[in-house]
Amino acid sequence: MTNFTGLKRFGAGLIVASSLVMAGHSAQAQELSQEHLAAARAAIASLQSTDQFDGVIPAAAEQLKTELIRSNADLQEVISTTIDEEALKIVPRRSDLEKEAAQIYAKAFTQEELTAITNFYNSAPGKKLIENGPLVTRELIKSAEIWSSGVARDLARNVNAALQEKIGARPKVTGEDSTESAPKP
């Protein structure tokens, strides 16, 4: 999985997480039925919320291989084989995360809300949001940074002009000309 894919899923997760705060209190008091948990699992699948964790076991295995082989280079083959065998035994534990995630989503959302989330994220616009959300977010952040720099620059320029009208020529606020100091009272 690439970092971009992880960002896509993270972005979609952020959208859902913002709703968690709002919906969390009403759904927590409910008993979680199997249907409710199934709706949560469907929402998680449509959001691809837990996909980013698919690499945890392989990454842990590779890290352990590197550490053990570095210390015991003569045992490289047996270390690799043993770690692969043991990692495969742990793979079924991945479902534990899915169960926990379903509990979390089911406590935060009603069954109807989870169904609506699933329906949206399985629709063309929902899939497009998951696909393009991180790019849109990065572009928005870039635009906001440019905008905020322009606002700060224009504010400094306007304050300098207004102060010059009120108190006469004085040193300018940093930002319009970085070599000059701020106005003195």
Give the pLDDT of residue 168.
84
175 three-state secondary structure: coil
pLDDT at residue 132 greater than cutoff 90: yes
Length in residues, the chain? 185
* pTM score: 0.60
The pLDDT assigned to 174 comes to 67
pLDDT digits (tens, 9 = 90+) for 164-176: 999 987 666 665 5
Q: What is the pLDDT of residues 49-81, one digit of tens each?
A: 999 999 999 999 999 999 999 999 999 999 999
DSSP code, position 87:
H
Contacts of 84 (CB under 8 A, 6+ apart): 61
- Residue owning tokens 């009403």: 26
Query: Is a pLDDT exceeding 50 seen at residue 185?
Result: no
Q: Which residues of 74-113 are buried (b: 16+ CB within 10 A; e: fewer)?
A: eeeeebeeebeeebeeeeeeeeeebeebbeebbbbbebeb
Query: What is the predicted pLDDT for the residue at 169?
Result: 74
* Confidence at residue 9, expressed as pLDDT on a 0 to 100 scale: 52
The answer to whether 129 and 117 have CB atoms below 8 angstroms apart is: no
Confidence of residue 29 (pLDDT cuts 50, 70, 90): very low
φ/ψ of residue 16, rounded to 5: -70, -40
Whether 7 shows a pLDDT value over 90: the answer reads no
Residue recorded with tokens 């899915």: 98
Tokens 């968690």 label which residue?
20
Q: What is the per-residue pLDDT across 81-105, written as a single tens digit (0 to 9) for each?
A: 999 999 999 999 999 999 999 999 9
